Amino acid sequence: MRIALLQSSGRPGSTVENLKVLDEAAGRAAAAGAGLLVAPEMFLTGYAIGDDVARLAEPADGESADAIAELASRHGLAVAYGYPERAGATVFNSVQLISADGTRLANYRKTHLFGCFERDQFTPGEQPVVQAELDGLRIGLMICYDVEFPENVRAHALAGTDLLLVPTAQMHPFQFVAEHLVPVRAFENQMYVAYVNRVGAEGEFEFVGLSTLAGPDGVARTRAGRAEELVLADVDPVALAASRETNPYLKDRRPALYGSLL
Catalytically active residues are 41, 110, 144
Can you tell me the distance from the alpha carbon of 122 to that of 198, in angstroms, rounded to the nearest whole number? 19
Q: What is the CA radius of gyration of the chain?
A: 17
Distance separating alpha carbons of residues 50 and 209, to the nearest angstrom: 21
133 bridge partner residues: 138
| Distance separating alpha carbons of residues 17 and 21, to the nearest angstrom | 6
- What residues does 4 pair with on adjacent strands? 37, 232
Residue 33 is given by DSSP the state T
Angle between helical axes of 150-158 and 182-189 (0-180°, round to 10): 30
> Taking each helix axis from N to C terminus, what angle separates 63-75 and 15-31, rounded to the nearest 10 degrees?
20
